[in-house]
Each structure stands twice: as C-alpha cells, then as structure tokens.
Amino acid sequence: MPESRRIVIFGCGALGSLFAGLLAAAGHEVVAVCRNEQQREAIRQRGLQLLEKENQRQVPFQACAELPAGERYDLVIVLVKSFDTEAAAQILAERLSPQSPVLTLQNGLGNAEALAARLQPGQVLAGVTTFGALQEAPGVVRLTGRGECEIGAWDRAAELHLRAAAQLLTGSGLPCSISPNIGAALWKKLAVNAVINPLTALLRVPNGELLQHEELQNLFAVIVEEVWHVAARCRVGLPMPPELVAEVRRVCQLTAANRSSMFRDVEQGRPTEIDAINGAVVRLGRERGVLTPANLTLASLIQTLSQHVAK
C-alpha cells in the first residue's frame, strides 16, 4: 500500500470518477469536486461503485460541490470537459494553495494554457491517458480499458513535481511515464481523437466499427495529415502521417467496444469538446495559413448535430 496522499479530482464525470475511485482504493485521501448533484449524492451515500469486467467494489471518498479554500494537496487532477477549463482554472487560482501541483489529463488543446494563465508557473503539469471509463449511472462507473498515463511539466518551474506525481499514479495502479516533450504527446492524442471522436459521434458506432468501413480509410489519412501540417507550423514534431494513421487504427482495435466520449455527449444532448479537438486544428490552421477542410467539415457537422439534438 503506497503512502497516503491528499488528492483532488476536479471534475467527476466518467474518467474523473474512475481516477478518484482507483486512487481512493489505493489508500489515498481523495476529494472529488463534482457539480452533478445526483452523482455527488450517490457517492456521498454509498461510495463509488467501481466495475471492471465481472468484478465490482464500493469505494468511499469525499465528493463536494466546491473545492475547500486554502488547502494544500499533493496532486490536483483536472478532468472537466475542455469548455469548462477556464472556469476551473479561476476556481483553482482562488482556492488552491500555490504549492499544489495541478495536472490536466483532458482531451484536446488549450487546457494547459488556460490553467497556466491563472496558476503559478511551477504548478501546471500536462498529460494524456489511455484509460477508458463509462458512467453507467450516478455513482456507478465501469473501467472499460486499463491504459497508462504520460505527463510532463508545462513550464520548467513545474519539473520539481513530476517524479512525485508519476510515482503517485504508478503506485496506485495507474502506470505513468514522464515525457520530456509533453506538447508532442498532446498533439499525437489530438490526431487520434480528431478521427475517432467525431466519426463515431456522426455515425453512432463504437470505435472498432470505424475499421469495418473501407471508404473511411482515406478520410482517416486526410484528417491526420491536416493535423500533422498544423502541428508542424506550430513547431511540434509528430510521427509522419502514415504512422499516425496506424496509431488511429491501433486505438480503434484496442477500444473496439467503446463508445467515444463525443458519441455519448451527442447521444445524451450534452455539449461536446469539438472546439478543443477538430475546432482547435481549424483555428490554429487559419492562424498559420494551413487549410483544414476535413477538420472544418467535421467540426461544423458536430456543432450542427449537437444543436439539433439539444432542441
């Protein structure tokens, strides 16, 4: 059992609940900031029901609507949707000790920048994770795929927190490595998400079914090439487009039964993170003179679909 640490999970959706549950099960003192009242009350009353294959366990931890002020924590993990990051950053800046490291494991681009604009340079860590989760009901989350985490310092001043954060996660059953170039890792995941998320949401299919349609394979390549060209203009070095397409296919195979977060958001009439994924590719491309028609089309379709479903 690792030494107990004080941890905040800011955002208690599927992935946030999963991380809170796994860290609490490892013996850490977890505070989950949860705005959804049903989710919060379910966790308060009976703990989180954590499901994995045929196994289940109840994991108690603290769930609250607001972060207590002035406290110092060993790690704060931000897992709100990307469109809520600026609001989360403002709350953290007002209520969190500046000695507490803050790690974003969110989808898309712009999250670390939003946190860095409000917090101290030595606080912000950024990363990616391949863990999968599905919230089946308030207070019930299923681990749909064990993966790993990759983290790095957003500013050199935050490097002093890296080893402790990686050891904390790894020791809690969340394997974590340290990246010297976390920006490239964020863009690589963006390339994968830019294909899988909007296409599964538009077609209403699980991830693996994308591989069953030969006519989609050229579209994979076009989307990824646009991401690659924009990343290059942003001075971010990525694997060549064929390697990125191979990574998209690999993720589709590994998560074949999963429904992407964007698919679930569209299905349930919730806002999506399209602006931080394909929308970010379009926006940065315009700023740097790179045409991104495939990403623009996907972003426009998802935005239209979301508005239609929400009515």
Active-site positions read 189
3-state SS, one letter per residue, for 169-180: HHHCCCCEEECC
**Contact between 272 and 265 (Cβ < 8 Å):** yes
* C-alpha–C-alpha distance, residues 176 and 28, integer Å: 17
Buried b (16+ CB within 10 A) or exposed e, 188-221: bbbbbbbbbbbbbbeeebbbbbbeeeeebeebbb
Q: What angle do CA 166, 230, 252 make, to 5 degrees?
A: 60
* Percentages (nearest 5) of helix, strand, coil residues in the chain: 50, 20, 30
DSSP character at residue 295: H
Residue with tokens 């028609």: 293
77, β-bridge pairs:
9, 103
* C-alpha–C-alpha distance, residues 289 and 294, integer Å: 15
Angstrom CA distances, 269 to 70, 196, 265, 302, stand at: 36, 19, 6, 12
Token pair in block for residue 245: 């397409």
Sheet strand arrangement including 29-33:
62-64, 29-33, 6-10, 75-78, 102-104, 124-129, 149-153, 176-178
